[in-house]
Structure 1
Amino acid sequence: MKKQSLAVAAVLATAISAPSMAADWFVGGAVGYQQDTYKIKETENGATESDKAKEKDMSYQLRVGTYLNDNNRVYGTYSYNSDDFAKQQSFLASYDYLVPLGAGKKLNWFVGATAGMNHTSPDFDELSSKNTFVWGGQTGLMYKINDKLSTEIGYRYLKQDYDVSASDTDYSAKFSLNDTQQVYLGVDYRF
């Protein structure tokens, strides 16, 4: 829990100070592929069985943020995903450090940290929806098309803490969402 608190504090401190240092605001969107790793433990009539499942589907993102300077950016992201197990909505705060690749500074490698909240709504009536803390990081390549438009391809890993249980007379089950991995293509507009 201490790591989670420190991660949230660092991202929030950077985001709160952003308006006073802001150089360029941006809005954007991304579409990508998301893989969620679920663990399932079922007990029926005294017999226990465990399984691990990976659900894969599309992910959609909207974001707004600011470039603090040529090497630092902060942003907030809303992300939506629906797979065979659940629907997820994420609200994330992120920080990226950009490293120019070449003299023209059009191509940048970025690496950063993310923390936020994820709302998971299982597609089963027996399981309840839940808000959980998520944290992780991202990396990728950003290409500046012109002064207003940029595009990027990225990879994000999020550690999840979603656990929920269901039971009746002879049956019990525990479901957990351990992590999420996303690969995405995004476009941003600076103003």
Structure 2
Amino acid sequence: MMKKSVLAVVLFSGALSSSVMAQSHVESFIGGGIGYQTDTFKGDANKHSEDASYQLRAGVIINDHHRLSATYGFKKDRYSIEDDKAKHTQNLFLTSYDYLMPVTSTINLFAGPSMGISHDRISYSNAGAQSASDFVWGGQVGANIQLTSHISSDLTYRYLDQNYKQANTRLKATEQVVWSVDYKF
């Protein structure tokens, strides 16, 4: 499963980048963000895990309308299930495509798909830890504002379908609201 997930991410990224990289105007960017993330668990842990999410990202913007990015995200949360204390740690590795729709000369709305790999680890005080890396996919929408010629900021909502399942615990979905700042070069 893991090899198929990695292959799917590589093929998705390659297909998108090869078709749009033939265009003329390309700007690179690097940035980071912070936001709120909630994860929906089913099974023994039938609850929502929520906490801050931190992200680093890099990518390219092609002809002012197509954005390809690679994102690393991290989230850690502690919660209780009856008398058992639990800790959920998540590392997300995503590739995304966004179509940027201009509203004004400095503001764009955007939407697009994301896919990648999520590594989740859940530790229980009474039962040890369980972890797995699984394929994730979903999409995002948001707004982008160009603050200066090199600095922009995004407000993004992202939904990801998860496939994590260990013992009687299933992570069904991840939702994020993230504010990020990027530097173009």
TM-score by length of 1: 0.81
Contact 1:18–1:74 (Cα < 8 Å) also in 2: no
CA distance in 2, matches of 1:57, 1:36: 9
Contact 2:118–2:136 (Cα < 8 Å) also in 1: yes
Look up the equivalent residue of 1:153 and give its one-letter code: L
CA distance in 1, matches of 2:18, 2:49: 35
1:71 to 55, 58, 65: 65
1:80 matched to 2:82? The reply is no
Q: How many residues align?
A: 170
CA distance in 2, matches of 1:86, 1:18: 38
* Secondary structure of the corresponding residue to residue 52 of structure 1: coil
1:184 to 156, 178, 181: 178
TM alignment of 1:1-191, pairs within 5 A: 8=9, 9-15=11-17, 21=23, 23-41=26-44, 52-84=46-78, 85-102=87-104, 104=105, 106-124=106-124, 126-165=128-167, 174-191=168-185
Give 1:13 deviation, angstroms.
1.4
CA distance 1:123–1:137, shift in 2 (3 Å) = same
**Runs (5+) with no aligned partner, structure 1:** 42-50, 166-173
Q: Deviations over 1:56-87 (max 9, x none)?
A: 10000000000011110101000000012310
Q: Deviations over 1:17-55 (max 9, x none)?
A: 6666561000000000000000123xxxxxxxxx62011
CA distance in 2, matches of 1:126, 1:63: 32
Give 1:16 deviation, angstroms.
5.2
Give 1:12 deviation, angstroms.
3.8
Question: Sequence identity of aligned pairs in percent?
Answer: 38
Look up the equivalent residue of 2:28 and give its one-letter code: W
Give 1:149 deviation, angstroms.
0.4
* Secondary structure of the corresponding residue to residue 128 of structure 1: strand
CA distance in 1, matches of 2:12, 2:40: 27
Look up the equivalent residue of 1:95 and give its one-letter code: Y
**Runs (5+) with no aligned partner, structure 2:** 79-86
Contact 1:110–1:140 (Cα < 8 Å) also in 2: yes
Look up the equivalent residue of 1:135 and give its one-letter code: W
Contact 1:11–1:115 (Cα < 8 Å) also in 2: no
TM-score by length of 2: 0.84
